[in-house]
Amino acid sequence: MWHPLQKRPATKWEAQVDKLFAKASITLDEEKRKELYQKAFRIIYEEQPMLFIATPEELIASWNRIKNFYPTVWGFWKGLYMEIKE
């Protein structure tokens, strides 16, 4: 199991992921932040420190007048951009 924010990461890849997360968390440029998180998650994907074997079953519905509705397993993606169609 991977242990984020250890005083001394056990592996080089853990240290690199911690650095990327720290930098992304203070980056204001949305595209740069996205790039940093993608790099971190690519490393996590390649190293496979944990394996998710199940996801919760959820139903998410929306009224057909809602624009920019993008449900994900974690909730609504970019919920701030949702609006009602006129």
Quick: pLDDT tens for 50-85.
776 776 676 677 777 877 777 766 666 666 667 787
- Give the separation between CA 40 and CA 31, rounded to whole angstroms: 14
Neighbours of 39 (CB within 10 A): 16
Q: Could you tell me the pTM of the whole model?
A: 0.57
Which ranges of the chain would DSSP assign to H, the alpha helix?
12-25, 30-47
- Give the separation between CA 62 and CA 76, rounded to whole angstroms: 11
- Give the separation between CA 49 and CA 51, rounded to whole angstroms: 7
